[in-house]
Amino acid sequence: MITPSGHALAAEISGAAGPLDLRDLGARDFEAIHAAWLDHLVLLFRGQQLSDGDLIRFSRRFGELDWAPVQETGRRFVEGHPEIYVVSNVIENGVPIGSLGAGEAVWHTDMSYLEIPPKASMLYALETPPAGGDTYFCNMYEACERLPGELRSRISGLGLKHDGTYNSGGYLRHGMPAIDDPLTSAGVYHPLLTKHPESGRTALYLGRRRNAYVGGLPLAESEALLDELWQYATAEQLTWSHNWRPRDLVLWDNRCTMHRRDAFDPVCRRILHRTQVKGETRPSA
């Protein structure tokens, strides 16, 4: 059953009489999930019972997986499963078991600093705090559609530098020099307006704000243009938020959404495991 959230994106998927077991999906059920994912951009599945192996197996039905980004400390997390990114504030033996801590994670699209960023990501909740740590998603097709015609024409054909110096928790990525100059920081250019390779729809593609730079413009002009675009992209009417329960799985399309996360009480434990499905093509206009 597909239950749309009633917001600008997202739907919950369940079985006829309770949760749909993602460990045991026939080809037709998977096709229906794939179609719902393209239609609703973000899907929520409650009540899952997934081991790391199950999570990887379900993720691989969407395509080959990317390895997880390296944790801020340089560690890659789950022994034997380099595909799994651990998002957690838990510290064991003085070492964080995952990334992003307990602070806010700012709006971003996963790994857009790669030439071919992942097309999908999914997060599976193992432990969640009683309050806070909600994750928000926004609809970048609608962001594009809401741009005034003149602004849309102005950015058509422009490229944006996507920088991977810092992660969304504000932590310096392992091995990266701490550069805060959008003109000189390392990064990969993608068009500001991209055509989704499966739906054919056009989305605004922003990645993340820090160190972003619109190629060819004076820095002040690039900053002003990006501030204006971000206002459209993160308008509340374009978002849906999720309050996590253990055993929730949320799957999203990185080509037409961004996400962020609220801070939560650092004393509470929050552990989620994430996979990311490789994109097939470079983002293109």
Of 20, 42, 105, 122, the residue at the interface with ligand SIN (CB under 6 A) is 105
Asked if residues 70 and 285 have their Cβ atoms less than 8 Å apart, the reply is no
Asked if residues 59 and 244 have their Cβ atoms less than 8 Å apart, the reply is no
Cross-strand pairs, 151: none
Q: How far apart are CA 142 and CA 11, in angstroms?
A: 16
Of 161, 208, 209, 261, the residue at the interface with ligand SIN (CB under 6 A) is 261
Three-class secondary structure of residue 96 per DSSP = strand
Reduced to 3 DSSP states, what percent helix, strand and coil does the chain have, rounded to the nearest 5? Answer: 20, 30, 55
Identify residues 81-100 at the interface with ligand SIN (CB under 6 A): 87, 100
Smallest separation (angstroms) from ligand SIN to the CB of 151: 27
Of 62, 274, 279, 283, the residue at the interface with ligand SIN (CB under 6 A) is 274
Between 81 and 222, CB nearer to ligand SIN: 81
Smallest separation (angstroms) from ligand SIN to the CB of 269: 13
Q: Is the dihedral of CA 23, 62, 173, 230 positive or negative?
A: negative
Q: How far apart are CA 181 and CA 138, in angstroms?
A: 27
Between 107 and 232, CB nearer to ligand SIN: 107
Of 109, 168, 185, 257, the residue at the interface with ligand SIN (CB under 6 A) is 168
Judged by CB under 6 A, the number of residues near ligand SIN is 10
Selection from 172, 195, 223, 198 nearest residue 38 by Cα: 198
Smallest separation (angstroms) from ligand SIN to the CB of 67: 15
The count of other CB atoms within 10 Å of the CB of residue 63 is 14
For position 55 contacting ligand SIN by CB under 6 A, the verdict is no
The count of other CB atoms within 10 Å of the CB of residue 145 is 15
Q: How far apart are CA 220 and CA 241, in angstroms?
A: 33
Smallest separation (angstroms) from ligand SIN to the CB of 158: 26
Instruction: Please report, as a single letter, which amino acid is at residue 195.
Output: K
Identify residues 178-217 at the interface with ligand SIN (CB under 6 A): none
Contact track, ligand SIN, 119-158, x by CB under 6 A: ----x-----------x-----------------------
Enumerate binding residues for ligand SIN (CB under 6 A). Answer: 87, 100, 105, 123, 135, 168, 259, 261, 272, 274
